[in-house]
Amino acid sequence: MQHRRMGAPGLQHHAWRPAIIVVLVTLCASGLPLFAPAASLFADAWLLEWRHASVVCHGVLAGWSLVMLGAISARHAMPMWRVGRLRWAGITLIAAWVALGLSGEFAQYGADGALRDALVSAHGWIGVGLLLPFVWHVVRRHGSKQPVASVQ
């Protein structure tokens, strides 16, 4: 029987982590000019020129991030839960990611006026707030001792 260190199930392929990081960083970067507190840091001329491109990029990447959420849930989160390695940071990440998806969809397609403004603001703050549990999840994972599991 072979023994190996048990990493993150389903995410061992060398392309997963860089793909997740590239999509999430680009998603954050494209959302930054759309987030009111951050938008004040940019020149008005730049915002006028790049706002539409940011919206399009953010929308396309949001769809891909939801596809990745499904893959991560099926190939990483569920196996971790089955072996008893439940992480509250991971649960927080999934819940925040779902809230971001819903608030983005409702802000774009399901609301007008003050409700839309509130959803856009909530979407931005949830997005900024998502950074903390993401870093916590990654740091805790790399800082913990991984148990040895048997490979069958």
Annotated domain spans of the chain: 2-143
By C-alpha distance, which of 139, 151, 150, 13 is closest to 76? Answer: 13
Pairing of strands 148-151, 2-5: antiparallel
Q: Residue 143's pLDDT is what?
A: 58
Average pLDDT over residues 128-144: 72
Average pLDDT over residues 12-17: 67
Type of residue found at 83: V
Asked whether the whole model's pTM tops 0.85, one would answer no
Better pLDDT: 7 or 38? 38
The percentage of residues in the chain with a pLDDT greater than 70, rounded to a whole number, is 78
By C-alpha distance, which of 61, 11, 8 is closest to 34? Answer: 61
Tens-place pLDDT, residues 46-60: 777 788 888 889 989
